[in-house]
Amino acid sequence: MSDAKLSFPPEFLWGAATAAYQIEGAAQEDGRTPSIWDTFSRTPGKVLGGDTGDVACDHYHRWREDVRLMADLGLRTYRFSVSWPRVQPTGRGPAVQRGLDFYRELVDELLENGIEPMLTLYHWDLPQELETSFPSGDSAGGGWPERDTAHRFADYARIVGEALGDRVRMWTTLNEPWCSAFLGYGSGVHAPGRTDPAAALRAAHHLNLAHGLGAQALRSVLPARARLGISLNPSAVRPLTDSAADRDAQRRIDALANRVFSGPLLKGAYPGDLLTDTASVTDWSFVRSEDLAVIHHPLDFLGINYYAPAVVSGGADPSAPRHDGHNSADHSPWPAADSVAFHRAPGELTAMDWPVDPSGLTDLLLRYTAEAPGVPLFVTENGAAFDDKPNAAGQVHDPDRIRYLDAHLRAVHKALEAGADVRGYFLWSLLDNFEWAYGYSKRFGAVYVDYETQRRVPKSSAYWYAKAAASGRLPDVED
Ligand code: PNW
């Protein structure tokens, strides 16, 4: 649509996001040890095509070129993550100076180019050692189901805070703890690939605790001007019909997708219905009452990652295929929710088979405006994968992605008009990259990456987005 060009506030931050394991490569350089994603991706059958992050976009060696790309596109902010096993191999003990230096140099280059860094401490690359060797051992393995991992995360947060606190202002503890807990330990489609619903719920709590302990550790070392938040991937869950069964299915999934995090983070308590719903799986005795005050730490901002909504109904046949975006998994990521059926939401599908429906983004921004009054919001991820290919002239035209971005930025604008305090938007992703269980088969980048040559080619959407960032207005959408 080329009607009124919507304009955004002048201080609105236009950015792009990446994550360490998805772009860095250099998996065995400078003292980095394996993360759970190295182990998982090297296990046959776990990642499409047997792809790994060993080389990825080789960003570890090409970061200067990548920052130049961001500067050329006029980005005002860049969200990246720090690889835990690069700065603290094995997840315990002293830091590796070379690992910290890599991020310091990256940040300095960003700042010199007028690009504000947003640093994520944990985007899923847990040091393998923390998954494998663990002190108490009251579950089938270590990792996030173990309480100790939250304490290890706080130590790591302090290390990075001390090293970069003088130059990074925006900090997030965790990216999408839902994926870490429920895809990592529930459905097993993400590392470490465990399929134990009780472990997934324990993981969710210990991720919440890690956020709280990490936030405390950061506050103790960061200057007062630092801003601290977390990025969640809340689900816009809709009932298929208005029936009582469908509305109850919505409530149940809302608890498992959203309130399991927002409850303790924003209210200092787990929702009662979540505890009752999951009583057959766990008694939640791993939650100590003092944990809740730690998790309920005042946020300076909340990051919302959004891709697509979900539609649910009650009274399902547990053997029927799910349409929750996790159909390929034999195990459900939703503990104690076998009676819930997932339906395909309406809308055009992206290459992930995720429907295009921007209204969920407006809904979520307004919901969290109400649930976290006074807390500024960022869209810390939004974007889409399409089947991008260079043409004979070597250019990549991606009108689908332009339409997707335009529609979702309009959804952000709608939330702004309705009173949401949205401070910025990060396109996922700057570069095509390692798309987790899908390997390199899905391209989310505004910039095309030729994995043979590592050549970067900005797609048409990158130029479109650059115009939006430069003018604060949404440009026309080409056909
Ligand atoms: C997010 N799901 O991952 C991540 O933060 C990014 O690293 C990732 O590349 C991006 O979204 C695109 O997938 C998700 O299955 C992965 O529901 C899977 C799901 C959701 C988010």
Q: What is the mean pLDDT of residues 89-114?
A: 97
* Residue in 233, 323, 364 to alter for ligand 1 test, most ligand atoms within 8 A of Cβ: 233
Integer Cα distance of 144 and 192 in angstroms: 10
The proportion of the chain whose per-residue pLDDT surpasses 70, expressed as a percent, equals 95
Per the listing, tokens 């459900």 go with 332
Angle of helix 460-471 relative to helix 399-417, nearest 10 degrees? 30
Both tokens assigned to 93: 């003990």
Please tell me the distance between residue 362's alpha carbon and the centre of ligand 1 in angstroms.
19
Per the listing, tokens 């609105």 go with 12
| Closest by CA position to 214, among listed 326, 103, 294 | 294
75: left (phi over 0), alpha (psi -120 to 50) or beta: beta
Please, which contacts does 101-105 make with residues 24 or more away whose CB atoms are closer than 8 Å? 102/30, 102/60, 102/63, 103/160, 103/163, 103/164, 104/163, 104/164, 104/167, 105/63
Please tell me the distance between residue 140's alpha carbon and the centre of ligand 1 in angstroms.
26
ipTM confidence score? 0.94
- The answer to whether the CB of 305 is under 6 A from ligand 1 is yes
- The answer to whether the CB of 179 is under 6 A from ligand 1 is yes
- The answer to whether the CB of 58 is under 6 A from ligand 1 is no
Q: Convert the pLDDT of each residue in 338-392 to its tens digit.
A: 999 999 888 899 999 999 999 999 999 999 999 999 999 999 999 999 999 999 9
How far, rounded to the nearest angstrom, does the alpha carbon of residue 420 sit from its chain's CA centroid? 21
Tell the residue nearest (CA) to atom 17 of ligand 1.
325
Please, which contacts does 280-286 make with residues 24 or more away whose CB atoms are closer than 8 Å? 280/336, 281/197, 281/198, 281/201, 281/335, 281/336, 282/197, 282/198, 282/201, 282/202, 284/201, 284/205, 286/147, 286/202, 286/205, 286/206
134 pLDDT exceeds 80? no
| Closest by CA position to 431, among listed 179, 131, 67, 85 | 67
| Closest by CA position to 468, among listed 14, 9, 11 | 14
Integer Cα distance of 253 and 281 in angstroms: 15
Cis peptide before 429 (omega within 30 of 0): yes
Please tell me the distance between residue 428's alpha carbon and the centre of ligand 1 in angstroms.
10
Backbone φ and ψ for 403, nearest 5 degrees, come out as -65, -40
Q: Which positions are catalytic? A: 176, 381
Both tokens assigned to 193: 């690939």
Q: Is residue 477 part of a domain?
A: no
Angle of helix 97-112 relative to helix 147-164, nearest 10 degrees? 50
135 pLDDT exceeds 90? no
Both tokens assigned to 291: 């944990």
Domain extent at residue 170 = 13-471
Model-level pTM greater than 0.90? yes
pLDDT for position 347: 87
Rounded to 5, what percent of the chain is helix, strand, coil? 40, 15, 45
278 pLDDT exceeds 90? yes
Please tell me the distance between residue 396's alpha carbon and the centre of ligand 1 in angstroms.
23
Indicate which atom in ligand 1 lies nearest the CA of residue 231. 5
Q: Residue 81 has what DSSP assignment?
A: E
Please, which contacts does 2-11 make with residues 24 or more away whose CB atoms are closer than 8 Å? 2/476, 2/477, 5/473, 5/474, 5/475, 5/476, 6/409, 6/410, 6/413, 6/473, 6/474, 7/472, 7/473, 8/409, 8/413, 8/416, 8/472, 8/473, 9/416, 9/472, 10/472, 11/423
- The answer to whether the CB of 385 is under 6 A from ligand 1 is no
pLDDT for position 140: 59
Q: Is residue 393 part of a domain?
A: yes
Q: Which residues are annotated as a binding site for substrate?
A: 22, 123, 175, 307, 428, 435-436
Tell the residue nearest (CA) to atom 13 of ligand 1.
435
Q: Residue 401 has what DSSP assignment?
A: H
Tell the residue nearest (CA) to atom 4 of ligand 1.
176
pLDDT for position 385: 98
Tell the residue nearest (CA) to atom 7 of ligand 1.
19
Tell the residue nearest (CA) to atom 2 of ligand 1.
325
The proportion of the chain whose per-residue pLDDT surpasses 90, expressed as a percent, equals 92
Integer Cα distance of 328 and 441 in angstroms: 16
Query: CATH number for the domain including 263?
Result: 3.20.20.80
pLDDT for position 315: 82
How many CB atoms lie under 10 A from the CB of residue 200?
31
3 pLDDT exceeds 70? no
Backbone φ and ψ for 404, nearest 5 degrees, come out as -60, -50
Integer Cα distance of 91 and 36 in angstroms: 12
pLDDT for position 2: 44
Q: Is residue 183 part of a domain?
A: yes
Q: What is the mean pLDDT of residues 187-216?
A: 98
Please tell me the distance between residue 296's alpha carbon and the centre of ligand 1 in angstroms.
25
Q: Convert the pLDDT of each residue in 143-191 to its tens digit.
A: 999 999 999 999 999 999 999 999 999 999 999 999 999 999 999 999 9
Integer Cα distance of 355 and 364 in angstroms: 16
Q: Please tell me the total count of domains within the chain.
A: 1
Of the ranges 36-40, 202-206, 321-325, 342-346, which one carries the lowest mean pLDDT score?
A: 321-325
pLDDT for position 317: 66
Who's near 216: CB < 8 A, 6+ residues apart? 154, 294, 297
* Residue in 401, 428, 430, 449 to alter for ligand 1 test, most ligand atoms within 8 A of Cβ: 428
Who's near 271: CB < 8 A, 6+ residues apart? 255, 259, 260, 263
Q: Is residue 115 part of a domain?
A: yes
Q: Is residue 150 part of a domain?
A: yes
Per the listing, tokens 């706080």 go with 154
Q: Is residue 6 part of a domain?
A: no
* Beta strands 116-122 and 170-175, pairing class: parallel
- The answer to whether the CB of 435 is under 6 A from ligand 1 is yes
pLDDT for position 216: 98
Q: Is residue 3 part of a domain?
A: no
Please tell me the distance between residue 381's alpha carbon and the centre of ligand 1 in angstroms.
9
H helices, E strands: number in the chain: 16, 13
pLDDT for position 323: 67
Integer Cα distance of 349 and 453 in angstroms: 30
